[in-house]
Amino acid sequence: MSEKLHEQISALVDNEVTDPELLIRQICKDTDLQERWRRHHVVHDVLNNQLSTTPVDLSQRISQAIDSEPVHHSNVSLTRVSQPSRARYIMKQVSGLAIAATVSAIAVISVQQTSISSSGSSQEVAGLNGNTTVAQAQVRFVNEPQKLDNKVQSKLSNYLVNHNEYSITSNMQGVLPYTRVVTTTDQRVVVRSINEK
């Protein structure tokens, strides 16, 4: 993926592309570009404080995103649509994709009950709902899962070995617990949080 294309996607997120149609077509065809588009959108939303800081009812948001989508049939021909509305149509498709992708990004991040800030000026977020709201966290984001450092992996494997020894499920299943150590070569950290208090 070229640097120029990255810039174009970034510009598209900011509505700064004068003729977006070709780019939108490219995004629709390429999953890497879709992923790039999703990430740019998350960052864009973050920078504009558009991410919710309250716990998110994901099912409701996903339902809303789906409800707001027109029903697309595979046999709908784009040639029957006039040029301006065709662009709008494609834009709507991409927007739908963006909504769904943003929701899925939020699904990854908001499950952590966190909010995100990109510039180090972290936002305070509420702890968990429920009887015990013990911790409030100030959270700095990573906008995508990051691979765990080898040292962290080693320590977690070590913890896991000790956990297995006392875990009832592990005791029952015998083989499976150590399989997690053997096969976990690509652990990722989902959210890095700092200054939890």
Partner 1 sequence: MRNNPVSIRFTSVFVTFIVCFPGVLLASEHLKDVQLWLEKMHRATHTLNYMGTFVYGQGAELSSVQLIHRTSKIGEQQRMVAMDGTGREVIRDGNKVMCIMPDSQAVVVSKVRPDKQFPPVFPITISNLTPYYQFSISGSSRVAGRKVQIISIVPKDDYRYGHRLWIDDKTGLLLKTHLLNSENKPVEQFMFTRIEYLDSIADQYLVPQNDGKDYTWYESKDGKKADKSKQVGMNVAWLPPGFKHDMKTLQKLPNTAMPVEQMVFSDGLASVSVFIEEELQHDPSNLVGSSKMGGVNVHGRSLGDYHVTVMGEVPHQSVQKISLSVAYTQADD
Site for partner 1 (CB under 8 A): which residue of 33, 101, 137, 143?
137
Q: How far is the CB of 42 from partner 1 (least distance, A)?
A: 16
The interface region with partner 1, picked from 16-24, 40-48, 75-83, 110-118 by CB under 8 A, is 110-118
Site for partner 1 (CB under 8 A): which residue of 6, 72, 88, 188?
188
110 in contact with partner 1 (CB under 8 A): no
Q: What is the dihedral of CA 39, 42, 47, 53, to 10 degrees?
A: -150
Per the CB < 8 A criterion, the answer to whether 136 and 195 are in contact is no
For helices 21-29 and 3-13, what crossing angle results, to 10°?
A: 110
66 in contact with partner 1 (CB under 8 A): no
Site for partner 1 (CB under 8 A): which residue of 56, 87, 103, 181?
181
Nearer to partner 1, 102 or 170 (CB): 170
The interface region with partner 1, picked from 5-13, 25-33, 98-106, 155-163 by CB under 8 A, is 155-163
Q: How is 3-65 classified by DSSP, letter by letter?
A: HHHHHHHHHHHTT--SS-HHHHHHHHH-HHHHHHHHHHHHHHHHHTT-S-SSPP-HHHHHHHH
Joined tokens for residue 136: 């409030």
